[in-house]
Structure 1
Amino acid sequence: MENIRALSRPAHWLMFGIVIVALNLRPSMAAVGPLLSAIRGDIPLSFSLASLLTMLPVVAMGLAMFFGLAISRRLGEHRTIVLSLLIIGVATVSRLFLDSVAELILSAVLAGIGIALIQALMPVLIKSRFRDNVALCMGLYVTSIMGGAAIAASFAPLVMAHTGSWRVGLAIWSLLAVLALLFWCAQRSRLPAQDAKSSGNASFFSSARAWLLAAFFGLGTASYTCVLAWLAPYYVEKGWSEQQAGLLLGLLTAMEVLSGLVTPVIANRSRDRRLVLMVLLALIMAGFCGLILATQHLALLWPCLLGLGIGGLFPMSLIVSLDHLDDPRRAGGLTAFVQGIGYLIAGFSPLIAGMIRDQLGSFEWAWWSLTGVMALMLLMVLRFNPRHYARHIH
């Protein structure tokens, strides 16, 4: 933390701006799960169809990653973030006027595109502006993403209860985009000019290590997207109220925030991140097993374990990718590739889990499947020896 305190005042303002912007990158998805039963009561939705509200924006995020850096090169960092926040804000506030499944899904996809443009740009910006504090600043950035999810998941049911409308519960998060826009525009003069050139994504399609990193990020994010989409409905099926289930999801995301802050600080002590990654994966596996075997016993423990594991795994997956290359532009291109492929992989996980629920009548088999995926990722972690990075990425 001493390194963070040593940052100049303009750097502090830039980091604070990144935090405010990052708060906007999950509420459009996180608010849906706790309100799903109310939405389904108003608009006919199967669980498979409801999964599209999480799946399609994540897939859109994956596809948009591949042209996100090109857009930022053309428009510049400041204008790209302003455009993205406008897209997210418009998509979110439009939910006040939704009357059909198609309109709800369209708003989710539009928000996903805006989110992707920011997420493609931010690792490049952090790697270039905070070269000596990459792990810590990435931790703050990703933690802020999860913090936005925690706020939306916790308070969306309260907003619905006070207003009597699930549409308001979904749309109110456009206020976060307005706040971020005002702050980001006010700080424009403080942002130093930066070369936005990038080596792009094309050179990484032939790299086996880039595909391994993308698969690792995608499978890890699959656990996040499934939990985001289905944890609250799972507990509602177990007899919890929507508000209780939303607060439980809020507790999980609060643990994600805590882990996202602490884990990069611990990992920053060594360039070898493998032990930290293994501990995080073990926490996730324990959380899923608890959800299945003891849902009503120690009910608060299992979301806490999941949150601690997922919250640390998300930033660490990106940090490991950034570790592979020293040049910020190429590292940014690699993380854009990793996120692009990874989000395409993760995007289908809520749909698969929803189909499992429709066919088998329970989410428990989805949790078992994700436990197996985490075990596979433990084997993948063994490949991330930092002494061999230069050999794998040229």
Structure 2
Amino acid sequence: MLSMESTKDDRTLHTRSPEPPPIARAAAPLLFVVGLALAAFNLRPALASIGPLLPEIRDGLAMNGAVAGLLTSVPALCFAVFGVAAPRLARRHGLPTVLVAGLAALAAGLALRALAGSTPVFLVTSTLALAGVAIGNVLMPVLVKEYFPDRMGTMTGLYSMSLSFGAACAAGLSVPLASALGDDWRPGLGFWALPAAVAVLPWLAALPRARRSRRTGPAATRGGPAGGPAVAAPRLARSGTAWALAVFFGLQATAAYVTLGWSPQIYQDAGVSAGTAGALAAVIIGLGAPIGFVLPPIAARMRHQGPLVAVLGACGLAGYAGLWLAPAGGAWLWAILLGLANCSFPVVLTMIGMRSRTPGGVARLSAFAQSIGYLISVPGPLLVGTLNEATGAWHAPLGLMVTLMLVQILVGFRAGRDRCVEDDG
């Protein structure tokens, strides 16, 4: 059903309209660059702003521990559920239109969440915000493929850096903002609706140009620059490359959620102060900005990204070994190694953009890999916490993470082959 519908959408051509004036053509690339960076910046504050303020949020809403624990799993579930709809919406309404809707939902959800008077309202408004994030997650690689097909590595690096920068800002500034704005968690949490609203503006300005492009038949409707129809969803389910990307995405997301969620506790249990543990977590997050900008162009120039996946995985293995043997003694080194390992995220985003020949195919592959990947990542942080509680130590959780990292390297090597999903099956 989806295959027949997508083929019909992909082959629909519209009447030609006059070309925009030269100044509009010159300004459009800059508009898309700014829009891409701003959109990416806003894809993580909805998550990263909660952790630092969670004790105050729990007190203010009388939230029990079970619900607070659920907050760690809700984002991945939302990303999996809502991300599936993004390609279909983009085919029907255009990329900028759907992204505007997603960013508007994000801004509204963040603003309303800060006004929530009860736990159910907080969860519902958080879901609205995360639905917008899910749409942005899926569409980012597609936007790069559509508007910057000859600069995929550089533009993927730009939005990966912006995404990491947004996460670091939200993690580091939410508490100071709450203190400065009345010593209340609500302004500190709601502040992040403002940059999300600002991110809508360049995409609103891009809508007229995008509609003209759709009327003249953009790459996505013509099957992409390489020709041929975009890959259909049922075909992805039979593609070994698509499944390798999905599992690799899920395992690197698991590693990121575990290190960001549990590394401060591991450090504190080893005798590191809470303030230093928070700074170490900031290092793990912050490395994603500069390294995330550098790695995608390197990955895009490689015929096989497997060796790069292996190097980043080795950093993760060394970081886990350090936390096992001397968590306090080499704390800063382990944080750097784990931060480098988490840079598998921009690499897998680059690979998603390279594993299909058309923007339409990238849209479906991005939704497939991210939806399944985020579902894979759901149990990881919960299982790590359960193992720690059951054993009273971190050896079993770290042993689990070493095992998962070895699997991540193997499946990432498979996903990194120079092969498109259209070649499978």
Distance 2:256 2:352 in 1: 18
**Where do 1:180-259 residues align within 5 Å?**
180-189=199-208, 191=210, 193-194=213-214, 195=218, 196-197=220-221, 199-235=231-267, 244-259=276-291
Distance 1:179 1:318 in 2: 25
Matched, 1:372 2:403: yes
Q: For residue 383 of structure 1, what is the amino acid of its counterpart?
A: R
Aligned with 2:78 (options 46, 53, 60) = 60
Distance 1:208 1:78 in 2: 31
- Secondary structure in structure 1 of the residue aligned to 2:151: helix
**8 Å contact 1:19–1:144 — kept in the other structure?**
yes
**Where do 1:145-184 residues align within 5 Å?**
145-162=163-180, 163-184=182-203
Corresponding position of 2:384: 353
Corresponding position of 1:3: none
Corresponding position of 1:327: 358
Query: Residue 91 and residue 391 in structure 1: after superposition, are their counterparts in 2 closer, same or farther (change >3 A)?
Result: closer
Distance 2:277 2:185 in 1: 15
Q: For residue 138 of structure 2, what is the amino acid of its counterpart?
A: A
- Tell me by how many angstroms 1:385 deviates: 5.9
- Secondary structure in structure 1 of the residue aligned to 2:304: coil
Aligned with 1:300 (options 326, 332, 337) = 332
- C-alpha offsets along residues 157-208 of structure 1, whole Å, 9 cap, x if unaligned? 2223334223333222111112112333244445562435465533211223
Task: Count how many residue pairs are aligned between Structure 1 and Structure 2.
Answer: 386
Query: Residue 53 and residue 213 in structure 1: after superposition, are their counterparts in 2 closer, same or farther (change >3 A)?
Result: same
Matched, 1:105 2:136: no
Q: For residue 372 of structure 1, what is the amino acid of its counterpart?
A: T
- Secondary structure in structure 1 of the residue aligned to 2:168: helix
Distance 1:175 1:59 in 2: 25
Query: Residue 249 and residue 71 in structure 1: after superposition, are their counterparts in 2 closer, same or farther (change >3 A)?
Result: same
Query: Residue 75 and residue 361 in structure 1: after superposition, are their counterparts in 2 closer, same or farther (change >3 A)?
Result: farther
- Tell me by how many angstroms 1:371 deviates: 2.0
Matched, 1:280 2:312: yes
Unaligned runs of 5+ in 2: 1-24, 222-229
Identity %: 31
- C-alpha offsets along residues 282-332 of structure 1, whole Å, 9 cap, x if unaligned? 112222332333332232222222112212x11211222332222222132
Distance 2:316 2:161 in 1: 17
**8 Å contact 1:27–1:152 — kept in the other structure?**
yes
Query: Residue 304 and residue 387 in structure 1: after superposition, are their counterparts in 2 closer, same or farther (change >3 A)?
Result: closer
Distance 1:87 1:254 in 2: 27
Distance 1:367 1:331 in 2: 34
- C-alpha offsets along residues 112-160 of structure 1, whole Å, 9 cap, x if unaligned? 2111112222222211221111122122222222221111111122223
- Tell me by how many angstroms 1:29 deviates: 0.8
Aligned with 1:136 (options 154, 157, 173) = 154
- Tell me by how many angstroms 1:389 deviates: 4.9
- Tell me by how many angstroms 1:75 deviates: 2.5
Query: Residue 124 and residue 34 in structure 1: after superposition, are their counterparts in 2 closer, same or farther (change >3 A)?
Result: same
- Tell me by how many angstroms 1:337 deviates: 0.8
**Where do 1:34-53 residues align within 5 Å?**
34-42=52-60, 43-46=62-65, 49-53=67-71
Distance 2:49 2:393 in 1: 22
- Tell me by how many angstroms 1:25 deviates: 0.7
- Tell me by how many angstroms 1:258 deviates: 1.5
Distance 2:378 2:178 in 1: 27
Which deviates more, 220-229 or 31-40?
A: 31-40
Unaligned runs of 5+ in 1: 1-6
- Tell me by how many angstroms 1:278 deviates: 0.7
Aligned with 1:19 (options 37, 47, 51) = 37
Distance 1:342 1:355 in 2: 21
Distance 2:233 2:391 in 1: 40
- Tell me by how many angstroms 1:379 deviates: 2.0
- TM-score, structure 1 length as denominator? 0.87
Query: Residue 339 and residue 127 in structure 1: after superposition, are their counterparts in 2 closer, same or farther (change >3 A)?
Result: same
**8 Å contact 1:120–1:336 — kept in the other structure?**
yes
**8 Å contact 1:52–1:351 — kept in the other structure?**
no
Distance 2:261 2:121 in 1: 19
**8 Å contact 1:64–1:117 — kept in the other structure?**
yes
**8 Å contact 2:249–2:373 — kept in the other structure?**
yes
- TM-score, structure 2 length as denominator? 0.82
**8 Å contact 1:22–1:142 — kept in the other structure?**
yes
**8 Å contact 1:209–1:392 — kept in the other structure?**
no
Corresponding position of 2:346: 315
Distance 2:391 2:59 in 1: 22
Corresponding position of 2:16: none
Distance 1:212 1:167 in 2: 41
- Tell me by how many angstroms 1:354 deviates: 3.4
Query: Residue 277 and residue 37 in structure 1: after superposition, are their counterparts in 2 closer, same or farther (change >3 A)?
Result: same
- Secondary structure in structure 1 of the residue aligned to 2:84: helix
Query: Residue 183 and residue 10 in structure 1: after superposition, are their counterparts in 2 closer, same or farther (change >3 A)?
Result: closer
Distance 2:360 2:102 in 1: 21
Corresponding position of 1:90: 108
**8 Å contact 2:284–2:338 — kept in the other structure?**
yes
